[in-house]
Amino acid sequence: METIIHKVRDLSEAARASAEQLVGHSLDEGQQLVIEVHRCELTRADEVDGIDDALPAWLNVYEGLTESRIDELEKAISRRLDLSRPVK
């Protein structure tokens, strides 16, 4: 664990604005920030589980499709993206 202490009156304007955004309210000149940094012990499985839970299901649109079917779909999508029309 690491502890960092900053007096609000000694912060630059930008640092104070960042600190206020972080804590969610304005800070007074007579206050100080006490920041503790803790190591978070995550296993690789925890990291992967957190990522999987955060991703929407629609990201797996190609799941279960063969490579040839994916190629067909991508060709169809590319044709539809070519929306140029001759000028009359």
Q: 40: which 2 tokens?
A: 């978070």
Q: Give residue-wise pLDDT tens across range 38-56.
A: 888 776 665 555 555 666 7
Q: What percent of the chain lies above the pLDDT cut of 90?
A: 45
**Phi and psi at residue 51, to the nearest 5°:** -70, -50
* CA atoms of 41 and 3, how far apart (whole Å): 18
Sequence-separated (6 or more) residues with CB below 8 Å from residue 65: 73
Residues 35 and 14: their CA atoms lie apart, in Å, by 17
Sequence ranges of the domains in the chain: 2-37, 44-81
When the pLDDT of each residue in the chain is averaged and rounded to a whole number, the result is 83
Per-residue pLDDT, 53: 60
Helix and strand counts by DSSP (H, E) for the chain: 3, 2
